[in-house]
Amino acid sequence: MELEERTARLEGIMEQINQRLSHLELEMSELRNWMKSELDGIREEIAELRKESVAAFRWTIGIMLSVLIPMWVTIILTILFKG
């Protein structure tokens, strides 16, 4: 093979490599964008779960206090007036 044929062949190979790399870059960019959108969705879901857990915790504390405080008052008053 002559030098020109080898050079032309190498140029063709380099063009194929360039096309393949461009395709890979495009796919990676699409994958990155998809991952970002999925992570944004997950972050929103986590934020919503945190809000729900805080609300549930407040309800739990409220119920506990509404039961415990009257019970303590009743016990203390019973001790005070019985003795």
Q: What is the DSSP string of 66-77?
A: HHHHHHHHHHHH
Largest Cα–Cα separation, the chain:
117
Task: Return d(Cα 15, Cα 7) in angstroms, integer.
Answer: 12
Query: How does residue 82 score in pLDDT terms, banded at 50, 70 and 90?
Result: confident
- What pTM was computed for the model? 0.55
How many degrees, rounded to 5, is the angle at CA 40 between CA 35 and CA 46?
125
Query: How does residue 67 score in pLDDT terms, banded at 50, 70 and 90?
Result: very high
How many degrees, rounded to 5, is the angle at CA 39 between CA 33 and CA 44?
130
For range 33-38, the mean pLDDT: 96
Task: Return d(Cα 62, Cα 57) in angstroms, integer.
Answer: 8
